[in-house]
């Protein structure tokens, strides 16, 4: 076969080579995802340096997630409105500006503004990256492509806390942003040379009401979920926020079906293959985020580890996930999704069981091994399932499919962390209430371990639910784009 015929082509029909294109996208996605997790470990130092409370400091994470979530659905509209390379440069440029603001910020207010500007770029970057990866790989190689994406998704959350712990312990939290900035600038320069325009623009009309409804809906829903753990799920503000969010999202959805050119084409959910895989991936993502919150609590509060040491505990699992993702992608390309998803979910389930029985003297190597087993199973299923779902859509709906997939995953991630951490917190409170504070000094240790076990039990139940859904996947998932 002629090599030219196997190359991707831009909108003018001109062939180009993939490697530079792919590297630019993966680096952009890497720093966008890294930026989501890099600040978690640094919050105590920021609170001390800027003299803010924990509730205020948490907004550096919450506000980022809110803006990020709001931008994801809008990305499908932007993908069809602005040329691919220009949109990438705009997103990365916005991210770079936000990073500069964060790096030089002398006050909490300016740091928060910088994080929100970063989130605008990040919210466009991730669905843009996934859409472009699908556009430049043929259907029979999309598993390989998403395996590469899986490496980025694996390494970023694990490297974030480890890197953050080292920088905060050794230097100053401002250096977190000084480190990200030059990588962002270099990636933008490379994008000018390597990125091509591969999406034929349809120039849809912007429906302002749809943007308002999606922004209000996602913003208030994610806010309500985010404060549920702190305020309590019975708090009126939580119910009001979630209620307004759900009503706005319902109105947004109904409007999309009526519009000739919707902001987000929700008809992608008419595809059973896309819907079932999106739900499974979102549930798995819930358990991944929840586990990455619970494990540092265990290592720091029970084993007395530092922030850097806690990050290092997660690193072997991230390496396993990063190594298996491209292999899983190739297996998917050769054999399809159904058997691969079932095998992966069995491994993921087995890797979750040990966390139901954590004790004060549980070996840290046993934790690392079990967590790595979980990541092995996750690597076998997460990106292949996402690929199978997108493959079930026609080419014209790929941008809407990736935006919808990322939106649902963002909501599930927020909900998952709230549920799993909420279960842990409630269990700790009930344990202390039942035994009384006048008991032995190890009471708080026992309560924390009980809460962690119950938190992982919630993750285990969610894993079983995702496992059951895998049996409803039809094999093979047909590709309508061919």
Q: What is the pLDDT of residues 57-104, one digit of tens each?
A: 777 877 887 788 788 888 878 888 888 899 999 999 999 999 999 999
Measured N-to-C along each axis, helices 108-136 and 18-37 cross at an angle, to the nearest 10 degrees, of 150
What tokens does 27 get?
């680096």
Model confidence at 480: pLDDT above 50: no
Average pLDDT over residues 307-329: 82
Identify the domain containing residue 243 by its residue range. Answer: 206-262
For residues 162 and 198, state if they share a domain: yes
Which residue, of 204, 223, 247, is where some domain finishes? 204
pLDDT class of 482 with cuts at 50, 70, 90:
very low
Average pLDDT over residues 194-200: 85
| Selection from 101, 121, 120, 122 nearest residue 111 by Cα | 101
Question: Does 354 lie in the same domain as 447?
Answer: yes
Alpha helices in 232-337 (DSSP H): 236-258, 272-297, 307-335
Q: Predicted confidence band at 377 (pLDDT cuts at 50, 70, 90)?
A: very high
Mean pLDDT of 114-135: 88
| 302 and 254 part of one domain | no
283 and 402 fall within a common domain: yes
pLDDT value at 409 more than 60: yes
Structural domain ending residue among the three candidates 186, 204, 222: 204
Instruction: Give the pLDDT score at 121.
Output: 92
Tell whether 250 and 302 lie within a shared domain: no
Q: How many domains does the chain have?
A: 3
Model confidence, pTM: 0.79
Q: 272-297 and 307-335 are packed helices; what angle lies between their axes, rounded to 10 degrees?
A: 160
Long-range contacts of 167-176 (CB under 8 A, 24+ apart): 167/42, 168/41, 168/42, 168/45, 168/307, 169/306, 169/307, 169/308, 173/42, 173/45, 173/46, 173/49, 174/103, 174/104, 176/38, 176/39, 176/42
> When comparing pLDDT for 425 and 221, which is higher?
221
CA–CA distance, 352 with 347 (Å, rounded to integer): 9
Question: Is 144 in the same domain as 212?
Answer: no
Q: What angle do CA 139, 288, 74 make, to 5 degrees?
A: 55
Q: How sure is the predictor about 184, in pLDDT bands with cuts at 50, 70 and 90?
A: very high
Q: Which residue has the higher pLDDT, 262 or 183?
A: 183
Which has the higher per-residue pLDDT, 40 or 46?
46
Q: Is the pLDDT of residue 421 over 70?
A: yes
Indicate whether 251 and 307 sit together in one domain.
no
Confidence band for 352, pLDDT divided at 50, 70 and 90: very high
Give the whole-angstrom CA distance, residue 354 versus residue 363.
11
Shared domain check, 220 and 200: no
- Given a cut of 70, is residue 384 above it in pLDDT? yes
246 with 291, same domain: the answer is: no
How far apart CA 390 and CA 405 sit, in angstroms, is 9
Angle at 142 (CA atoms; ends 139, 147), nearest 5 degrees: 165
What pLDDT sits at residue 250?
A: 93
Range among 52-61, 113-122, 384-393 rated most confident = 113-122
Question: Does residue 5 surpass a pLDDT of 50?
Answer: no
Please report the pLDDT score of residue 3 as a whole number.
45
pLDDT at 229: 61
Task: Return the higher-pLDDT residue of 401 and 478.
Answer: 401
* Residue 439 CB contacts under 8 Å (≥ 6 apart), including other chains: none
Q: How far is CA 366 from the centre of its chain?
A: 26
Q: How many residues does the chain have?
A: 482
pLDDT at 4: 46
pLDDT band per the 50, 70, 90 thresholds, residue 186: very high
The band of 243, judged by pLDDT with boundaries at 50, 70 and 90, is very high
Query: Comparing 121 with 137, which gets the higher pLDDT?
Result: 121
Q: Which residues contact 376 (CB under 8 A, 6 or more apart)?
A: 320, 321, 324, 347, 348, 351
pLDDT in tens, 436-453: 655 555 677 788 888 889
Q: Which two structure tokens, joined as six digits, stand for 343?
A: 């095998």
CATH number for the domain including 368? 1.20.1250.20
Asked whether residue 26 falls in the same domain as residue 60, the answer is yes
DSSP, residue by residue, 11-44? TTS-B--HHHHHHHHHHHHHHHHHHHHTTTTTHH
- Low-confidence winner among 1-10, 154-163, 211-220, 425-434 (lowest mean pLDDT): 1-10
Could you tell me if 191 and 227 lie in one domain?
Answer: no
CB atoms within 10 A of CB 359: 10
pLDDT at 477 over 60: no
pLDDT on residue 406: 80
The reported pLDDT for the residue numbered 338 is 85
Mean of pLDDT over the chain: 83
Mean pLDDT of 124-142: 84
What percentage of the chain exceeds 90 in pLDDT? 22
Instruction: Decide: 72 and 123 in contact? Cβ < 8 Å.
Output: yes
- In this prediction, residues 346-350 reach a mean pLDDT of 94
Same-domain check for residues 356 and 329: yes
The last residue of a domain, from among 239, 262, 285: 262
Q: What pLDDT is attached to residue 298?
A: 83
Q: pLDDT band at residue 2, thresholds of 50, 70 and 90?
A: very low
């Amino acid at each position: 076969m002629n090599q030219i015929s196997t190359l991707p082509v831009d909108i003018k029909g001109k062939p180009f080579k993939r490697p530079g294109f792919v590297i630019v996208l993966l680096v952009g996605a890497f720093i966008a995802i890294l930026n989501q997790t890099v600040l978690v470990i640094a919050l105590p130092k920021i609170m001390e340096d800027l003299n803010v409370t924990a509730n205020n400091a948490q907004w550096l994470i919450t506000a980022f997630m809110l803006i990020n979530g709001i931008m994801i659905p809008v990305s499908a509209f932007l993908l069809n409105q602005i040329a691919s390379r220009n949109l990438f440069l705009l997103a990365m440029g916005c991210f770079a500006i936000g990073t500069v603001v964060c790096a030089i910020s002398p006050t909490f207010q300016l740091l928060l503004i910088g994080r929100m500007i970063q989130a605008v770029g990040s919210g466009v970057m991730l669905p843009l990256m996934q859409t472009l990866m699908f556009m430049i790989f043929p259907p029979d190689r999309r598993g390989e492509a998403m395996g590469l994406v899986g490496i980025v998704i694996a390494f970023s959350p694990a490297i974030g806390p480890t890197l953050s712990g080292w920088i905060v312990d050794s230097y100053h939290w401002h250096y977190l942003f000084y480190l990200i900035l030059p990588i962002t600038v270099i990636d933008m320069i490379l994008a000018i040379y390597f990125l091509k325009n591969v999406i034929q623009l349809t120039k849809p009309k912007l429906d302002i009401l749809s943007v308002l409804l999606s922004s209000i809906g996602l913003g208030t829903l994610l806010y309500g979920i985010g404060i549920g753990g702190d305020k309590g799920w019975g708090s009126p503000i939580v119910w009001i926020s979630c209620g307004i969010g759900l009503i706005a999202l319902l109105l947004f959805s109904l409007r999309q079906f009526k519009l000739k050119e919707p902001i987000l084409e929700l008809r992608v959910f008419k595809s059973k293959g896309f819907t079932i895989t999106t739900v499974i991936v979102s549930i798995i993502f819930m358990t991944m985020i929840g586990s990455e919150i619970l494990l540092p609590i265990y290592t720091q509060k029970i084993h007395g580890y530092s922030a850097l040491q806690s990050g290092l505990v997660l690193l072997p699992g991230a390496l396993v996930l990063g190594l298996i993702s491209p292999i899983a992608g190739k297996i998917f390309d050769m054999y399809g999704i159904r058997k691969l998803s079932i095998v992966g979910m069995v491994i993921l389930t087995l890797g979750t069981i040990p966390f139901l029985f954590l004790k004060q003297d549980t070996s840290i190597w046993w934790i690392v091994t079990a967590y790595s087993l979980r990541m092995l199973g996750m690597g076998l299923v997460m990106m292949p399932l996402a690929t199978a779902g997108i493959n079930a859509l026609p080419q014209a709906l790929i941008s809407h499919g990736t935006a919808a997939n990322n939106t649902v995953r963002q909501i599930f991630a927020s909900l998952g962390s709230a549920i799993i951490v909420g279960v842990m917190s409630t269990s700790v409170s009930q344990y202390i209430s039942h035994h009384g504070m006048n008991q032995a000094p190890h009471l708080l240790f026992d309560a924390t371990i009980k809460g962690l076990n119950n938190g992982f039990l919630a993750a285990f139940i969610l894993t079983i639910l995702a496992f059951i859904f895998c049996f409803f996947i039809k094999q093979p998932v047909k590709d309508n784009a061919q």
